[in-house]
Amino acid sequence: MDEQKKTVIQRWMVKADHDLITARVMLENDPSVTDTICFHAQQCVEKAHIPHFFPRSKVSPFPHMTL
């Protein structure tokens, strides 16, 4: 895998980590906002799946254009 793809994958994993951290913090501090917690959890999963498609696709900063 070339360096450009590795860099893009690392960036998406950082974004996924940020969504997971946000969901955890919100859950600990105000569990009543379940819709927002679920949104960030879903975003984390979606962003974490992007690297699985990158080795077979062109590099794109837009996840829905990688397939």
pLDDT higher than 80, residue 61: no
Question: Which is more confidently placed, 37 or 51?
Answer: 37
Integer angstrom CA distances of residue 57 from 10, 27, 36, 44, 50: 16, 35, 31, 21, 10
C-beta separation of 41 from 23 below 8 A: yes
* Of the listed ranges 41-45, 50-54, 59-63, the one predicted with least confidence: 59-63
Find, among 1, 14, 16, 19, the residue nearest to 49 by Cα: 16
Task: Convert the pLDDT of each residue in 1-44 to its tens digit.
Answer: 788 888 988 999 999 999 999 999 999 999 999 999 999 999 99
Q: What is the pLDDT of residue 55?
A: 63
Domain spans, the chain: 3-56
Stretch (H or E) spanning 39? helix 34-53
Query: Taking the model in full, what pTM does it have?
Result: 0.75
**For residues 37-52, average pLDDT:** 92
d(CA 60, CA 19): 20
